[in-house]
Amino acid sequence: MAERDTTVPETTETVEDDHQNSAHGFALRERLDAREQRGLRRDLAPTERVAARSRVATDPGDGISNFAGEDQVILASNNYLGLADNDRVQQAAAAAAREVGTGAGASRLVTGDTPVHRALERNLARTKDTERALVFSSGYAANVGTIAALAPDVIFSDELNHASIVDGCRLACAETMVYDHADADALGAAMARRDEQARKGEDESWLVVTDSVFSMDGDVAPLAAICDAAERHGAWVMVDEAHATGLYADGAGIVGHEGLGDRVQVQLGTLSKALASQGGYVAGSEALVEHLANAARSFVFSTGLAPPAAAAAREALAIAREGERRERLWNVVERLRDGLDEMGYRVLGESQILPVLVGNRSKAVAFGESLAEHGIVAPAIRPPTVPEGTSRIRVAPMATHTEREIERCLEAFHEAGRAAGVLDE
């Protein structure tokens, strides 16, 4: 028998370099260097707790995070209602962990379907005024699973739709026609062109997909006009309410706020933003839910949502529907928008998301770093997340931000904006 080589490599870097240089390797170090040179490499920044205020650490790699210094005001979270550290929500999660279990243990089609899941789905369906709802392990899973399971022949997708919608379109292997952002006329024109191209007598299934609130621009899709265009061509409409669930119309989102529930066949959203938990959902007809439960691969072949997450989302939805938190959030949003406008910033959107347009990538990065020095966590959003020349600071306030914290934020934007050359002296 040949003697086994027990030589220990000098460093882990040597081993990694050997792998990088292999004929069939992936050259990951080169990829990272290229990303670094393009200004696209990002680090993980651990946050001590999910709340309106927290200490933030630099990326420790595989080490232990060092949370030093004072709390910073968090303005980069989707925890819009500030419910992640709410006592009622935490108690609901703890009770579910004790009574049901910390994990579902299996796909919901096997043994992972619990009373907690069913209770959440009933409440979601009631909130969305639909026949049924179905909960997935994430909003991403809900999008890719639903679009692929519907298997439309043609998809009409807003150009700024979330990556999970884009990936769902790819997985569906459908012909995808991308229409100009939030432009119902452009959608109608695309559908008319497709009608002209279609062979006579050919029966195609068409799906129009859009976010309701767009996460980077903070604007709202013209859903009524989109429904008008879809109905003229006999298409279905699917709306992703990820950034609207819990915040409008007693928690029902933009679809409910605008009274469009009977015109939108597929309502989808996440439990991980305003509802401060984890998971995604689809709400619609009985037939839709039954079909997805059987055909959506991200549901069928995935362990069910953890019972504590389902219970937390259900309690958060109840709090959102009570209204007080929503009112507090909109008051904070109005105060911040007015203050930023008065300083001379261009604030985009019409929702709880306040994108402060900077334009230049380098200036935006310097601006975000200066804000951090002033105790505000609101990092720059830059290409490729947003188009070139539209880099910005995305301000996402919470209902739990105090008046003093709002003042601190506005003061920081004034000082940091001047320091970064974004505001005139």
Catalytic residues: 215, 243, 273
DSSP state of 136: E
Which pair of structure tokens corresponds to residue 11? 């460093």
Cβ within 8 Å of residue 367, ≥6 positions away: 358, 380, 393, 416, 417, 420, 422
**Angle of helix 139-150 relative to helix 286-295, nearest 10 degrees?**
100
Rounded Cα gap, residues 51 and 68, in angstroms: 17
Report the relative pairing of strands 132-136 and 154-158 from DSSP bridges.
unpaired
Are 184 and 228 spatial neighbours (Cβ–Cβ below 8 Å)? yes
Which pair of structure tokens corresponds to residue 369? 């770093």
Are 219 and 348 spatial neighbours (Cβ–Cβ below 8 Å)? yes
Rounded Cα gap, residues 224 and 134, in angstroms: 25
Of 283, 279, 284, the residue nearest 112 (C-alpha)? 279
Are 157 and 187 spatial neighbours (Cβ–Cβ below 8 Å)? no
Ramachandran sector of residue 269 (left: φ over 0; alpha: ψ -120 to 50; beta: rest): beta
Are 352 and 401 spatial neighbours (Cβ–Cβ below 8 Å)? no
